[in-house]
Amino acid sequence: MRWISYIVGILLLGLDQVVKYLVSSKISVGEVKEVVPGVISLTNLRNDGAAWSILSGNQVFFYLITVVALIVLFYLLYTQRQHSIYQWGLILMITGTLGNFIDRIRLKYVVDMFQVDFFNFPIFNVADVCLTVGVLVLFVAIIRDERIEG
């Protein structure tokens, strides 16, 4: 069963890179294409920072923090391998971290494309979704475990 999460992680990493490639090759930088009017659009944004371009241009910082994060995440994955819900959360977080790290190494920026149109929210990508869902899964697992122990 553990291998299924690894396969899903690899498939999501591939999806992230394919979507980034397609957006980069089909949509000009800064161009916006409505998908669901007033809800979500596709764009091609080159982000060399974090959300909302925070810390823009600090690639060395992002390289270092990503390597440290991956080491910690892989260590946690190894130590929590018997707990499937933790494993799923960690695999998703590793997938998202690797997806954006590949961009930073290869392109020196991260390709973002999903734009929420009805409120101010950072433009994001598949890797960001994996990271966010992974954090939520871990949060639920921790809360669940505290209830069982408490």
Distance between CA 17 and CA 135 in Å, rounded?
A: 21
Amino acid (one-letter) located at 59: Q
pLDDT of residue 57: 73
Q: Which segments of the chain have a pLDDT < 70? A: 1, 52-53, 146-150
Active-site residue identified among 103, 112, 117, 145: 112
Domain ranges of the chain: 2-145
How many whole angstroms separate alpha carbon 71 and alpha carbon 90?
12
3-state secondary structure of 77: helix
What is the pLDDT, as a whole number, of residue 1? Answer: 57
Task: Write down the pLDDT at residue 150.
Answer: 52
Nearest to 48 by CA among 99, 100, 101, 110: 110
Confidence (pLDDT) at 84: 86
Strand order in the sheet with 110-116: 32-36, 40-47, 110-116
d(CA 43, CA 33): 6
Q: ∠ CA 27-28-29 to the nearest 5 degrees?
A: 120
Residue 7 three-state SS: helix
Annotated active-site residue in 16, 103, 117, 128? 128
- Helix/strand/coil for 122: coil
Please tell me the total number of residues recorded for the chain in this structure: 150
Find, among 87, 77, 97, the residue nearest to 141 by Cα: 87
- For residue 128, indicate whether it is catalytic: yes
